[in-house]
Amino acid sequence: MTRTIALFVGSLRKDSFTRKVADAIATLAPGLTFKRIDLGRISPFNQDLEDQPPADWVELRDAVRPVDGLLFATPEYNRSVPGVLKNAIDVGSRPYGKSVFSGKPGAVVSVSPGAIGGFGANHHLRQILAFLDVPCLQQPEMYVNNAGKLFDDAGTPTAETTELFTKFATAFTAWVERFVK
């Protein structure tokens, strides 16, 4: 049975390394289909608007509520996650007690052109997801470093990169299946 995964890509940049990594992993995950959540369209969270939430908040919540799992791909901005990703999480987790994330299996992929692979963002995001009752895949961890060197000129992952992404995608599929029966 095919499972549906909400894909959150924390970079809005057109030629984003994070988007390339997320898309590559999505094509390699057996039995999973991915629904990308457009973070650039989500207005800022403001609790004062909760009585009559903006249409984009309702759309986000409605898109995530029926999915079987969550994949978060994030760059690292100032040793944390980008504001657009945190905003989407805030919108989806409200109102309190009605989070669309609760109980859904998830995974975190952090991406950086540098050597550390977004370690800080990865762990900040895991802390947030733990509070939101999202059981996160622990192994293999996915810190993607030197992201600019993982794809050829056509945007295709190298053979070594494909092997790494396949291992992660397969583990994520198994993780989702543990929670969704």
Note the pLDDT tens digit of each residue in 49-66.
999 999 999 999 999 999
Which pLDDT belongs to residue 133? 98
Domains observed in the chain: 3-179 (3.40.50.360)
In Å, how far from its chain's centre is CA 40? 14
pTM for this entry: 0.96
Helix (H) or strand (E) holding 7: strand 3-9
Which pLDDT belongs to residue 155? 83
Which pLDDT belongs to residue 143? 96
Which pLDDT belongs to residue 115? 87
Which pLDDT belongs to residue 49? 97
Pairing, β 106-111 against β 32-37: unpaired
Q: Mapping DSSP to helix (H, G, I), strand (E, B) and coil, where does residue 34 land?
A: strand
43-48: list long-range contacts, CB under 8 Å, 24+ apart. 44/87, 45/87, 45/90, 45/91, 45/94, 47/94
Rounded CA gap, 112 and 121, in Å?
10
In the sheet with 106-111, reading across from the earlier edge strand, the strands are: 32-37, 3-9, 69-75, 106-111, 143-144
Note the pLDDT tens digit of each residue in 102-157.
999 999 999 999 888 899 999 999 999 999 999 999 999 999 999 989 998 888 89
Which pLDDT belongs to residue 181? 72
For all residues of the chain together, what is the average pLDDT?
A: 96
